A and B are shown apart, each in its own frame.
Chain A
Amino acid sequence: MAAAASPTSLESAPRIMRLVAECSRSRARAGELRLPHGPVATPVFMPVGTQATMKGITTEQLDALGCRICLGNTYHLGLRPGPELIQKAHGLHGFMNWPHNLLTDSGGFQMVSLVSLSEVTEEGVSFRSPYDGEETLLSPEKSVEIQNALGSDIIMQLDDVVSSTVTGPRVKEAMCRSVRWLDRCIAAHRQPDKQNLFAIIQGGLDADLRATCLEEMTKRDVPGFAIGGLSGGESKSQFWRMVALSTSRLPKDKPRYLMGVGYATDLVVCVALGCDMFDCVFPTRTALKKKQYAKDFRPIDPECTCPTCQKHSRAFLHTLLHSDNTAALHHLTVHNIAYQLRLMSAVRASIVEKRFPDFVRDFMGTMYGDPTLCPAWATEALASVGITLG
């Protein structure tokens, strides 16, 4: 594929997203992704398939909860022991025994955050393994090669990630490099008909940089875009403005994946701002550990149909959380994922049935007691797309 696509070729680029409904007030959309392992309704929350052994759930449980796309870990699987082994196991789908869709990241983010001895150069992300001292280079080409071997349905470009709290020339450097790495990923991608390569919009919290990145990356012929570099330590006020800027400049007929955003309120607001896909890794801290739940014999959510709520009370989970049995965390993961999936389903239904703004008002009322008690940033963000609360 050409490194930089000309405008005319954009017309023939594959469209994996079909829009089913659009909110007449906000930028919310309901759609359907057509992926190699089946259709996926959007907006969609994508759980992480293996959230490390402490909080993990099985693929069977994910399937039972209605999940049709989840995230696979490129870093853990693709780098050690390597793509050859995964290919022998019939790709990541075979290795995980997951019949539906998979989205893999480039491996870059985890490498930088997990490995202290990493270094970013124009070539890629290089690091020295703390175990055997071996030097490895994760280049855009290598990342795509690994993801090709994994066989995931959506693959992510390798991007130069900087924390949103970083300021100065480094942010611009990372943004420009990400564009160059996108081109290298597109060139290296061997299976464009089987795997969908997404670009990742960077630019930190600088509106100009982000706008430049948007302008450049949307010239490239990719099936979808991710909005990256957010959900770090930035303020919510800056966060929503960058999301809104991004969605205003991204093509309507391609999916928008907001990386690392998964908490309920954030999800609803960002759907209103025009995002379609979300992911999140949940931390282990939980309110259930508090004393007030010790004798609370109700389920976490009486309307939830997940196995945790069907069988267990808050009191039991409270007891288990105070023990050294990790089963408690698995119970909570199952419920949290069930909740997120159910929320997305409800959001989508409200968009299709043309009552999304009312849904948002009801939701904020339930979350905060009254829609007017909703956090300021969320109120502003919703107002910017025509939804007023209270």
Chain B
Amino acid sequence: MPGRGRCPDCGSTELVEDSHYSQSQLVCSDCGCVVTEGVLTTTFSDEGNLREVTYSRSTGENEQVSRSQQRGLRRVRDLCRVLQLPPTFEDTAVAYYQQAYRHAGIRAARLQKKEVLVGCCVLITCRQHNWPLTMGAICTLLYADLDVFSSTYMQIVKLLGLDVPSLSLAELVKTYCSSFKLFQASPSVPAKYVEDKEKMLSRTLQLVELASETWLVTGRHPLPVITAATFLAWQSLQPAYRLSCSLARFCKLANVDLPYPASSRLQELLAVLLRMAEHLAWLRVLRLDKRSVVKHIGDLLQHRHSLVRSAFRDGAAEVETLEKEPPGQGQGQGEGEVGNNSLGLLQGKRPASPALLLPPCMLKPPKRTCPAPPVSTVTGDEDISDSEIEQYLRTPQEVRDFQRAQAARQAAPSVANPP
């Protein structure tokens, strides 16, 4: 850290404050040499590196700050260092923490919340600098619950009135893909599975863009989509050897956790690619399925813009026209029309009529129809008959039964109920 002095052994400036039991020490992170140790005895060289100054020379800055706030600020700095963030982030995050601490509600919050607040400040700082840090990552580092994190995060954003940009998908792809251990051969990674990083990155990026355009990203957690895209990109770069590898195995040998939704994202992405393949002349004749389409992902991505336009009609407009016409008739007409209009320039077999470009949740049929509720003519002032009220009361016999049952339950020791 600049301004903190150098390590006497190796001369590096990377000095970190670490504590050995209850004694705070200044340690060089390169060679491990202990630069200063506590304040009980100091030598001349120690004084040069001393962080804690004598009272007469202190500015008294820390006196005004409460212990828990100091602890929190230290945690913020530690978290920034663990994540290896640029130095400017640390100051911003610390400033946010201090700003949050000015509010009484935060000062009085539990320690768990203050701990999570540390993560929130770091996350906001990263978001504002387009640094792709996911909430899941922070929760893992802080051993925090995502629910606690989410409530604190929403509260602090509202409290401080902050403008937090969305997670940058492109940056997240780059960092996440780089974390896959596939770029060098190792005992767990066979030679045929090793891939060039740049090629994989660019292809994954294109697949993620395609997913985003076809409604697979909106409203969903971003990470599983990227996992699925990375897997497809990797497979498609050498399909002959890699088609046999499953998604789970892929994540295992790349040393990355497999998020649960990734397999369904994978299926959705494959379905999109299959639809696009039906509109490429030389692929249409091949009658591809979910496995064989992987071999042609390169081609599909190359022409993805025009393919998406031709393979998918505007789902929104389609839904509107279907609404206005009577359902049964409208479906047949819509399909027939589009089939006739599509792509006269493609000769040979007519491609399938374009599919609706809609988010998957709108493509699935509704589980149960919601009938329009009948218009009720209740005024709220109607008479309430006695008999109606009687039905809500227990008869004396029922009361006696109930009391007996309750007494019996309390008498018998409750074995079955967990504490």
* A and B: bona fide binding partners: no
Which residues of B approach A to under 8 Å, CB–CB? none
Binding site for B on A (CB under 8 A): none
